[in-house]
Chain A
Amino acid sequence: MHTDLVGQAQRGDREAFDELARMAGDRCMAIAFRILRDFDLADDAVQAALLTAWIEIRALRNPERFEPWLHRILTNACYAEARHRTRWTAGIRLLSVEPVREPDPYLAVDDRDQLERAFRRLTVEQRAVLVFHHYLGLPVSEVADRIGIPVGTVKSRMYHAKRALQASLAADARASSSQERMA
């Protein structure tokens, strides 16, 4: 199991860490993209998180908790990317063909666009809480643990995020209906 790989990585085994990274990388990318809403920024955040994990892994106390520990590092990396837009790599990026979850047929194009706009208006901290709760399906206490903030702060961020989303969606709906009337 991956706890063996964690132990080997803690002893400096690069192959073991590489295997761990490949086991966790896809999920990290999915999380980072959903927080940052930008493929390149998410890619950078995941790379930064994996490198930090390699540097710090010797002090991971409980190998069973590798994934939550990595997700906490990833969340901080997402915050850093969002704030500083730093790039770990310069130059030309290789065009990649990344698998994308197909659009849900039950979510109309208008809904999707409006949600995208509204979601992007949230702070990166608010987005992180929503992603861990609604995408990973984690309970609030586990979200708090993954992100490293108190449960009360998770609840508060979630509350404010949803209020902001509702306000944005309502504003969009009003704008749409007034445009329809003018047409």
Chain B
Amino acid sequence: MSAPRDLDGLLTTFLKEGPLELPDPSYDQVRDRMDHTRQRTFIGPWRTSDMNRYLKLGLAAAAVVVVAVIGYNLLPGSAGPGPGAGPTATPGPSVASPPPLTQTFTSTVHGISVSYPAGWIARAATEPWGPEGPNFSDPFVDVLYDPVLEGNLHLRIASQPIGESTPDEWVAEQLAGDGCSTTEPITIDGATGLIGANDCNTVAVATAGRGYWILLHTSPDDPSAVAPYDRAWFEEVLATVQLHPEDAVDSGASPSP
């Protein structure tokens, strides 16, 4: 290959090659595991009659939060980390050290508040958590993200009633679902749970019949930009978390004022 020619064409041709079928024994193994695995029970808003009312309230709450955050960031001097700190007019990832945790986000859906870095943007959840993720773009996840790196550097937060699961079961399911093969115990605002070991930055805790899931996503696409956002930093964020399960909104309920 003397030089990259039509890279798109080469890629398309290259990706056509490879296996096209899952072997039969693999289906059998899935089936075996299904026989020993309980389906999760969900009480989602999509099964209720007042979904529209809830959505309106949730969207209104989200709009208020977004406007407040944007307004805060547009105020002269507000982009900086707070009193006593130097001006930092341009929000963005810091290679040297992350911005201080001067902003506080309170979730109207998930019943949780947490501090997050100056300059980051908060996108509030507009509906209770279903199981389709929670990924960055899902409406049922609170996302706190770096305005430059967006999907490559962010915190995701969600919570839901643990239903028929025990707290330990619910917590373990979350960690397993994120591929955290090894875990360590953790306590967040008095609630016990697990955090992934090594580079698996997922936390799940449960309290008062409610499970909380928090994830720090640092994509390896830009290692130098996300390097400062390590486990120590994640734990610093987690230390600011306050859980308010009584304020969380689930199916059929209205967001707290």
Contacts and interface: CB of A to CB of B under 8 A. Distances in A.
Given A98-B19, A112-B17, A123 B221 contact: yes
Nearest to B137: A148
20 contacts: A14-B34, A22-B27, A26-B20, A28-B22, A50-B30, A51-B30, A54-B34, A54-B39, A58-B42, A61-B44, A96-B24, A98-B23, A99-B19, A102-B17, A107-B14, A125-B221, A135-B15, A148-B133, A166-B4, A176-B1
Contacts of A25: 21-22, 26-27
Nearest to A165: B7
Nearest to A29: B22
Contacts of B46: 61
B137 A115 contact: no
Interface of B: 1-4, 7-8, 10-27, 29-31, 33-35, 37-42, 44, 46, 130-133, 135-138, 150-152, 173, 177-181, 199-200, 219-221
Contact of B16 (A61, A81, A135): A135
B181 A47 contact: no
Given A51-B30, A96-B25, A84 B179 contact: yes
B23 A43 contact: yes
Given A29-B19, A83-B200, A100-B20, A169 B30 contact: no
Contacts of B29: 47, 88-89
Given A59-B130, A99-B20, A172 B1 contact: yes
A102 B16 CA distance: 9
Contacts of A106: 13
A150 B4 CA distance: 28
Interface in A32-89: 33-34, 39, 42-43, 46-48, 50-52, 54-61, 69, 72, 76-77, 79-81, 83-84, 86, 88-89
Given A72-B133, A166-B4, A160 B39 contact: no
A77 B25 CA distance: 19
Interface in A131-183: 131, 134-135, 144-145, 147-150, 152-153, 156-157, 160, 162, 165-166, 169-170, 172-173, 176-177
Interface in A85-119: 86, 88-89, 94, 96, 98-104, 106-108, 110-112, 114-116, 119
A134 B44 contact: no
Contacts of B42: 58-59
Contacts of A100: 17-20
Contact of B135 (A29, A30, A149, A162): A149
A124 to B, nearest CB: 8
B221 A12 contact: no
Contact of A103 (B17, B27, B136, B152): B17
Main secondary structure of the interface of B (DSSP, over half): loop
A21 interface: yes
A84 B181 contact: yes
A34 B34 contact: no
A165 B29 CA distance: 36
B33 A51 contact: yes
B220 to A, nearest CB: 5
A14 B37 CA distance: 11
A34 B18 contact: yes
Contacts of B15: 34, 130-131, 134-135
